[in-house]
Amino acid sequence: MTPPPDAEFRASGDLPASFVLTPARGEGGRTVFASPHSGAWCPEDMGPVAGLSAASLRSAEDVGVDRLTAAGPAHGVPLIAGLVSRAYVDLNRGPDELDPLLIEDCPAGEATTTAKVGAGFGVIPRRAGDGTILYDRRLSLAEAGARLARVHIPYHSTLSDLMHQTRERHGTALLVDWHSMPSRAAPVGRSGRGVDVILGDRHGAACRGAVTRRVRALFEAQGWRVGLNTPYAGGYSTQIWGRPDEGFQAIQVELNRALYLDERTLEPSPDHGRFARALDRVIAGLAAERWPR
């Protein structure tokens, strides 16, 4: 992503920048954008297994989602985007979702026994998105803690600031957490074709029903097929910010990569420009909404 001149890179420890924050232009509305999985940078201390391919390292990356959502700030929506690879730290997992098979002396707890952690996809993943093992060693608990302190904590602290500032101004704040899914993961609809967009509102718990319906309508107005909660109901960010009774709402958006990306080369497809223009119309609609409290 080529950031606008007012974008602010946030360094943490020895990392030159772990994420980029592009503030809203103008007064700003009730919406905050986040793209936690668009980063590709792997710090030198990662130490993955020898011979691991770049394709495997990037297999869980939301390639280009930061660029697709970059129109948000111009419409009054701040955008926070991760710059560090999901293979190093997953920003959409809880900091306590530690994998005892990867991390030595991992403290026992409910979060360490979730299905995602068991499959190798904890906050510090043991496997790449394509299932490839990332390490031929175990990480110390101190090493894991250092990663979280440098990458996970600063990102979520800044996101928290954005959400609280937005609620203070408007009485409510909606987080739109942007992601992408491989086309093979898209559920097949009655037409026999995979859905284009999946919205996750944690089965109605993360935002008001009227919010989900309006967001769905904005995507469907572009002619896209929209699914709800299956198989992506919303991750960590949607969970912690989906508190409508407190003035915080959240919805996760999964975009089918086949709409804009060559999934083999990870380069923009011939349809990228058309898709981006349609998504800009959705973004303008999201920015203009006065979400119900």
Mean pLDDT, the chain cut into blocks of 10 residues (293 residues total): 56 69 91 97 93 93 97 97 97 97 93 94 97 97 96 97 97 98 86 88 98 98 97 97 98 97 95 98 96 88
d(CA 143, CA 89): 12
The three-state secondary structure class of 149 is: helix
Using an 8 Å Cβ cutoff, are 286 and 175 in contact? no
The pLDDT of residue 190 is: 67
Assessment of whether the complete model's pTM goes beyond 0.75: yes
Q: Tell me the DSSP string of 190-254.
A: TTSSB-SEEEE-TTTTSS-HHHHHHHHHHHHTTT--EEESSS----HHHHHH-BGGGTEEEEEEE
Distances (CA, A) of 161 to 151, 156, 248: 16, 9, 12
Query: In the numeric block, which tokens belong to residue 46?
Result: 């990662």
Write down the residue that tokens 């409508």 correspond to. Answer: 244
Using an 8 Å Cβ cutoff, are 226 and 220 in contact? yes
The one-character DSSP state at 186 is: S
d(CA 99, CA 72): 35
The pLDDT of residue 194 is: 84
At 267, which amino acid appears?
E
**φ, ψ dihedrals at 182, nearest 5°:** -65, 145
The pLDDT of residue 17 is: 80
Q: Pairing mode, if any, of strands 248-256 and 173-181?
A: parallel
The pLDDT of residue 14 is: 54
Using an 8 Å Cβ cutoff, are 228 and 201 in contact? yes
The pLDDT of residue 1 is: 43
The pLDDT of residue 26 is: 84
| 173 half-sphere exposure, CB direction, 13 A CA radius | 25
For the CA atoms of 215, 217, 219, 225, what is the dihedral angle to 10 degrees?
Answer: 120
d(CA 198, CA 261): 17
The pLDDT of residue 188 is: 85
The pLDDT of residue 270 is: 97
The pLDDT of residue 27 is: 82
